[in-house]
Amino acid sequence: MEVRRAGPADAAAVARLISRFFSDEEFFTPPEAIAARAPEFLQHPGNAAFLAFDGNAAVGISTVTSSFGFESGRLAEIEDLYVVPEHRNHGVATALLGEAMLWCSQQGFDAIQVVVTPEDPLRKERLIGWYGRLGFVDTGRLLLYFAPGAPG
């Protein structure tokens, strides 16, 4: 398995994996919107995506976005972490997260956060435990979301 940073030429693979992830998690962003956003995401200097390959097939992805604020300074967010089901439990997610965190360290971010969605309570607890073993702390904060014009 190879893990590397995605570049503009990888936009289709990035869009395919993010679309599959969003479909699996029942997120509402349609594949067409993801495909349209992928090239811009990959060109933004504060973003990064990492792909895991099994041969020539992209089988996993991690993405990082960034911001700056008074509380945390330069803040990175591991926004997406997804591995296709048939490649899970083989260290792919750990390798993807490791590359994302290494990039964050190289960029000099003051903090890294990850959002764990609550759709499946058992899975949520497993993820919180997994991230906790890697040094992430559950702050108990609640993320509220507003998207003008979005359904629901």
b/e per residue 29-49 (b: at least 16 CB within 10 A): eeeeebbeebeebbeeeebbb
pTM for the structure as a whole: 0.91
pLDDT digits (tens, 9 = 90+) for 54-113: 999 999 999 999 999 999 999 999 999 999 999 999 999 999 999 999 999 999 999 999
pLDDT digits (tens, 9 = 90+) for 14-46: 999 999 999 998 888 999 999 999 999 999 999
Q: What's the distance, CA 92 to chain centroid?
A: 13
Domain boundaries, the chain: 2-133
Q: The domain 2-133 is classified under which CATH number: 3.40.718.10, 3.90.1150.10, 3.55.50.30, 3.40.630.30?
A: 3.40.630.30
What lies within 8 Å, CB to CB, of 134 at 6+ separation is 97
